[in-house]
């Protein structure tokens, strides 16, 4: 019996003939829920009922059908389609009519009679573009890089990436208008990669130590922004230290320094603990151990643009005692009188002697003296520019020509005066002669002194000469007359 009922139900309910709910399906029910189709389905259900009521006394057929249907319907929605009862929606029902089909075209208005899917298509194809355009038109014209400008005042903003320097607290409103003002906000310890401005008054402090040869007490540092370096060495050590400079940071050269209690700039190796002033002598600066014995050298360096208030005054020696040995009988015409071979000539060292014009150290005469300090027997005076005071003859008692005097420039006026220092002169004839040749030869007469009176003179005007001498040709008198001829010349 059970198998017969099952077969009957399977025959009525198949995939080709589903059980209609609000619309028919399958070969017997057509495809819609019309009144005719509903009547046909009622007839089918009646047929099923007649097949299940053959034994109304016991009701066993009804129970079998109910159990079979119950077993079938418990799997709805939880199993595959093959284990479920197929359901067909009516094509003219409210759901199908209002929801629409995937083939519906987009609605043409916002208020017309269209399916739900038609309105969705209109929203996506028309309204969305309009909305996006409206939003774009609300954005400011200065908006670039697809960003929205947001007022972040009063809000702590997150920062990504590594923060390499602490710039301190920045106020709510930036009022700085120059780079110098911004730079003033930076911490003093910020040295590398800083904003470079006028560094007058800026200071860079460094320190370091070393205890081996060819190592740096102060490693190479760019001192372009500074002009003076102060170095202080401390510690117990025995070594040689050099301050060094370079423009490429690779090849370094020993630099000069002032020892704070010294008297001159030095370039030698430093071996003492003290303070040193160092002018900048290149872009890069370092302090290096160039010789080492023991201990640890410690250094403190300060770089600035402030020149030291005082520097050691270097002692300068203008002349130091020098001995000159003559090795031949040739004597320059700047010297007068005989100069013995191997005579020691010493230059002056006293500032007073130099100022007075003497090449004389108080003990040894070098045959030179100033124009205003000539004296008989001590040599010819130096020629002063614009005038020449000359000893043409000095204490002579016999006739003959005196020494040639090189004036080193052409002169045209001269006064020669007779000085009698012994005896009485009866007659005298002394020619004052000039020459233009480089060796002082080929003499010509400028004037002749013939007055035997003491202090008599001759005057020579507008006669050019480069060399001058006195040539005594006549001298008579009593008690061995002794005379001198002195002269003064102007251009």
pLDDT, tens digit, 9 for 90 and up, residues 383-407: 445 566 788 999 999 999 999 988 8
- pLDDT of amino acid 123: 84
* Equal fold, 203-304 vs 383-490: yes
Mean pLDDT of 403-419: 89
Does residue 460 register a pLDDT over 70?
A: yes
pLDDT band, residue 32 (cuts 50/70/90): low
Which segment, 218-232, 325-339, 358-372, is predicted with the most confidence on average?
Answer: 218-232
Q: What would the mean pLDDT of 404-422 be, rounded to a whole number?
A: 89
For residues 388 and 488, is the Cβ–Cβ distance under 8 A?
A: yes
CA 483 to chain centroid, in Å, comes to 80
Q: Per mean pLDDT, which range of 70-74, 147-151, 420-424 is the poorest?
A: 70-74
At 301 the pLDDT is 94
Q: Which two tokens stand for residue 2?
A: 């059970």
Distances (CA, A) of 465 to 62, 442, 444, 470: 171, 11, 9, 13
Q: Nearest-5° angle of CA 194, CA 195, CA 199?
A: 95
Average pLDDT, the chain: 73
Domain segments of the chain as ranges = 2-92, 203-304, 317-369, 383-490
Give the architecture-level CATH label for domain 383-490: Sandwich (2.60)
- pLDDT recorded at residue 409: 83
Map tokens 């929203």 to a residue. Answer: 123
| Cα–Cα separations (whole angstroms), residue 400 to 420, 431, 440 | 17, 10, 16
Compute the distance between CA of residue 165 and CA of residue 271 in angstroms, rounded to an integer: 39
More confident site: 400 or 126: 400
pLDDT band at 101 (very low <50, low <70, confident <90, very high): confident
Least confident of 84-98, 197-211, 398-412: 84-98
Name the pLDDT band for 17 (thresholds 50, 70, 90): low
pTM value? 0.31
For domain 203-304, the question of CATH label 1.10.3470 is answered with: no
170-179, 201-210, 304-313: least confidently modelled range: 170-179
Distance CA 447, CA 458 (A): 7
Between the CA of residue 444 and those of 392, 433, 470, 471, what are the distances in Å?
A: 15, 5, 11, 11
Confidence of residue 25 (pLDDT cuts 50, 70, 90): very low
Q: Comparing 75-89, 137-151, 333-347, 421-435, which segment has the lowest mean pLDDT?
A: 333-347
User: What is the reported pLDDT for 374?
Assistant: 42
């Amino acid at each position: 019996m059970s198998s017969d009922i099952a077969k009957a139900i399977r025959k009525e309910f198949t995939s080709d003939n589903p059980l209609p709910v609000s619309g028919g399906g399958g070969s017997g029910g057509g495809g819609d829920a019309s009144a005719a189709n509903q009547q046909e389905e009622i007839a089918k259900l009646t047929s099923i009922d007649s097949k299940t009521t053959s034994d109304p006394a016991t009701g066993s057929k009804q129970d079998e059908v109910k159990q079979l249907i119950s077993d079938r319907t418990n799997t709805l929605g939880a199993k595959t389609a093959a284990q479920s009862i197929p359901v067909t929606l009516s094509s003219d029902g409210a759901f199908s009519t209002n929801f629409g089909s995937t083939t519906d075209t987009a609605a043409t208005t916002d208020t017309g009679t269209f399916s739900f899917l038609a309105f969705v298509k209109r929203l996506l194809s028309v309204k969305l573009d309009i909305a996006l355009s409206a939003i774009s038109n609300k954005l400011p014209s200065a908006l670039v890089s697809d960003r929205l400008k947001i007022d972040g005042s009063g809000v702590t903003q997150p920062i990504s990436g590594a923060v390499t320097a602490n710039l301190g607290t920045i106020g709510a409103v930036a009022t700085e208008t120059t780079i110098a003002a911004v730079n003033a906000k930076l911490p003093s310890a910020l040295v590398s990669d800083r904003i470079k401005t006028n560094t007058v008054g800026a200071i860079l402090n460094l320190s370091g130590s070393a205890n081996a040869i060819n190592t740096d007490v102060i490693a190479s540092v760019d001192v372009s922004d500074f002009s003076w370096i102060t170095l202080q060495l401390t510690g117990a050590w025995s070594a040689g230290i050099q301050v060094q400079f370079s423009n490429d940071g690779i090849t370094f050269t020993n630099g000069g320094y002032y020892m704070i209690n010294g008297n001159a700039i030095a370039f030698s190796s430093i071996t003492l603990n003290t303070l040193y002033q160092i002018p900048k002598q290149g872009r890069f600066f370092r302090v290096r151990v160039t010789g080492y014995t023991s201990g640890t050298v410690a250094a403190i360096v300060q770089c600035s643009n402030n020149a030291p208030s005082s520097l050691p005054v270097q002692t300068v020696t203008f002349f130091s005692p020098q001995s000159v040995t003559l090795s031949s009988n040739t004597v320059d015409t700047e010297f007068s009188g005989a100069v013995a071979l191997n005579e020691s000539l010493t230059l002056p060292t006293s500032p007073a002697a130099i100022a007075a014009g003497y090449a004389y150290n108080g003990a040894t005469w070098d045959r030179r003296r100033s124009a205003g300090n000539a004296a008989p027997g001590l040599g010819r005076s130096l020629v002063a520019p614009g005038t020449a005071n000359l000893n043409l003859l000095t204490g002579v008692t016999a006739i003959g020509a005196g020494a040639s005097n090189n004036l080193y420039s052409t002169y045209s006026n001269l006064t020669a005066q007779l000085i009698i220092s012994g005896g009485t002169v009866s007659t005298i004839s002394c020619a004052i002669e000039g020459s233009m040749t480089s060796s002082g030869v080929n003499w010509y007469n400028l004037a002749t002194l013939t007055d035997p009176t003491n202090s008599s003179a001759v005057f020579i005007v507008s006669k050019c000469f480069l060399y001058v001498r006195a040539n005594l040709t006549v001298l008579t008198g009593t008690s061995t007359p002794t005379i001198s001829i002195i002269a003064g010349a102007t251009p």
